[in-house]
Structure 1
Amino acid sequence: MARTLEQALADFSPGLPFAVAFSGGADSTALLLACAERWPGQVRAVHIHHGLQAAADDFERHCQRVCDGLGVPLQVRRVQAGHAPGQSPEDAARQARYLSLADAVTTAWPEVRDVAVAQHADDQVETLLIALSRGAGLPGLASMPAHWQRLGLSWHRPLLAVPGADLREYLHQRGQSWVEDPTNRDEQFTRNRIRARVLPVLQEALPAFRETFARSATHAAQAQEVLNEVAEQDLALVGDPPEIRVLQSLSRARQALVLRHWLRLVHGTTPSAAQLHELLGQVAACTTRGHKMNIKVGSGHVVRQGPVLIWLPA
């Protein structure tokens, strides 16, 4: 069952004071307004000025007016994120945004340890559908967590069970304006196409899709937690660097699990499905001392070094 904004905030218990990521759009405006009313004097706001469009200065001025009216301190950070080869502009902008949010919070308000962001139920569905379209595994199907630790701060998404339309209705009832980012209508982006074309059809065919999809994401997240525990145990068994002979004693599925975990945890890289398939084949073929291995994996190479595997950056 979808939740109201009031119900969602009743279950939200941030450390006080806390910050809200405030773009000026409807979602973050509803979150900021509701939080400022629920915790007067305890809310801070951070606005990220991307500088990617002419309206960005107007967004900043709007955010300042809203915060002045609510008596909420506002920090503004300007970011222009380039993207690395193979990285999408959206990913680059998202990473730069979180870095800037964290820097603004820790610099301006060292006492703040919690940050709320305004993704809601529709955003969660879009994330799940994008993961499905890319053939993602459990980490992708788990979609967005409600809370997580990053950059020394606790991050929260208290609105993940609240439909976006309800947030706009809340603002209409309060007579509160917001800004509309014109890029949200650009259907060259997958997320925007899903929002414009797919969600209305789902609403008509499956009215409860937000709640049922969210349950599936929760089940995936729980299953991934169990797999992470298994991967930790297997990594302790095979060692770092992984010993080939011990790897071969595991099933192929557990080999894949522990190698993916090792690469991500120790080396900060993620293999593609094709790379992992080739790596597993080479592990199975390592039956003689002379068998060599040099496989492109993630952003580097996995090579054989005697009885173990090592990963070398490109």
Structure 2
Amino acid sequence: MNSTFERAIAAFEPAHWPLAVGFSGGADSTALLAACAARWPGQVVAFHVHHGLQAAADGFEQHCRSMCERLGVPLVVHRVDARHATGESPEDAARRARYAAFAEMARADEARGAIRSVVLGHHADDQVETLLLALSRGAGLPGLAAMPAHAQRNGLDIYRPLLAVAGAEVREWLAGRELPWIEDPTNEDARYTRNRIRSVLLPAVEQAFPQFRSTFARSVGHAAQAQQLLNELAAQDLESVGSPPRIATLQALSRARQANVLRHWLMRSHGCGPSAAQLEQLLDQVRACTTRGHRIHLKVGAGFVERRGDLLHWYNVAPSPKTSL
């Protein structure tokens, strides 16, 4: 057991069984599925999401069926409509559809018992790409924390045990076992920012900073730790200001803590992530709210934040102006 990939698999232990592997048929998920099936025979199932976005998708599914038969792993396939709306990132739309499909497959696969653990093949290069994308968008700590090794989503435990393993090492392990994989043709499409980072930026970064995967990983860890502290502070502040928040209690906090607790409230209570500009506008209105007649009505996320008496409320649809004070 000499490779970083093998050590990562040996160190990984999910909290619940059986274990589902997100299986696209690509190199990373193929290596992960093969390694998990060898370590835990009879306790692993493959989840394949048919995105329906390209003509090759049917071929991907057939390849996955063949590979699962070879490995002796049950395969569950879920078809989704992952087309993105106007102005929406295609990658974000496909990612949301994929996680929703995992949850659907986990609930539907009653024959093997309730599946609560899903493992994904994201590796160190994917993590660096995610960090660089976040930096390019001016992201805050949640974006700079990139992908967690363990998270909970849609009632599932999501694991990424390969975040310290370089993509090239994953492929070396796979090639050494003569296991075939498929190459998604969209991975070469320069229209996608992530692909440009992979093909142009990462080789230059590696030439300038050969240890960038480990050093970037430390920065990601620092950002994740800092975000955890902010989450804990936000939870404490939310107990104080209430849900929905009391404006006067908010005003007693610093602007930074107001931003932190409002972001936490919107996400926890409404699944709403405000943009930086929207949050700044809301903070300005909270500061200016010093009279009973001051009106707050701001677009935030997919809805609106409004003042109702001494409290802030968030709505999916804007109420009539006659009832907004």
TM-score range, shorter chain: over 0.9
Q: Which moved more, 1:118-127 or 1:296-305?
A: 296-305
Which residue matches 1:245? 248
Which residue matches 2:88? 87
Which residue matches 1:122? 125
- Counterpart residue type for residue 63 of structure 1: C
Which residue matches 1:311? 314
Which residue matches 2:98? 97
Which residue matches 1:54? 55
Stretches of structure 2 that go unaligned for 5 or more consecutive residues are 318-325
CA RMSD of aligned residues (A): 1.5
Which residue matches 2:322? none
Q: Which moved more, 1:120-129 or 1:284-293?
A: 284-293
Q: Deviations over 1:181-209 (max 9, x none)?
A: 00011011111010000010111110111
The answer to whether structure 1 residue 200 and structure 2 residue 203 are counterparts is: yes
Give 1:172 deviation, angstroms: 1.1
Q: Distance in 2 between matches of 1:246 and 1:256?
A: 13
Q: Deviations over 1:33-75 (max 9, x none)?
A: 1111111222111111122212112111111111111111111
Percent identity over the alignment?
63
SS of residue matched to 1:161: coil
Which residue matches 1:209? 212
Q: Distance in 2 between matches of 1:263 and 1:76?
A: 34
After TM superposition, the score normalised by the length of structure 1 is 0.96
Q: Deviations over 1:88-122 (max 9, x none)?
A: 22211111111112222331233432111111000
Q: Which moved more, 1:157-166 or 1:55-64?
A: 55-64
Q: Distance in 2 between matches of 1:310 and 1:151?
A: 25
Give 1:1-314 correspondences, 5 Å limit.
Answer: 4-14=4-14, 15-108=16-109, 109-314=112-317
Q: Deviations over 1:148-205 (max 9, x none)?
A: 1122221111111111000111111111110000001101111101000001011111
Q: Which moved more, 1:112-121 or 1:125-134?
A: 112-121
Q: Distance in 2 between matches of 1:234 and 1:111?
A: 36
SS of residue matched to 1:301: strand
Q: Distance in 2 between matches of 1:174 and 1:96?
A: 32
Give 1:264 deviation, angstroms: 1.1
Q: Across the two proteins, how many residue pairs are aligned to each other?
A: 313
- Counterpart residue type for residue 255 of structure 2: R
- Counterpart residue type for residue 12 of structure 2: F
Stretches of structure 1 that go unaligned for 5 or more consecutive residues are none
After TM superposition, the score normalised by the length of structure 2 is 0.93
Q: Distance in 2 between matches of 1:38 and 1:156?
A: 16
Q: Distance in 1 between matches of 2:11 and 2:64?
A: 26
Give 1:311 deviation, angstroms: 1.5
- Counterpart residue type for residue 171 of structure 2: R
Q: Distance in 1 between matches of 2:201 and 2:229?
A: 32
- Counterpart residue type for residue 39 of structure 1: W
Q: Deviations over 1:103-149 (max 9, x none)?
A: 22331233432111111000000000000000000011000011111
Q: Distance in 2 between matches of 1:232 and 1:303?
A: 22
SS of residue matched to 2:20: strand
Q: Distance in 2 between matches of 1:20 and 1:189?
A: 25
- Counterpart residue type for residue 70 of structure 1: L
Give 1:85 deviation, angstroms: 4.9
Q: Distance in 1 between matches of 2:275 and 2:158?
A: 28
Give 1:86 deviation, angstroms: 4.3
Q: Distance in 1 between matches of 2:181 and 2:17?
A: 26
Give 1:253 deviation, angstroms: 0.6
Q: Which moved more, 1:83-92 or 1:246-255?
A: 83-92
Q: Which moved more, 1:255-264 or 1:120-129?
A: 255-264
Give 1:83 deviation, angstroms: 3.0
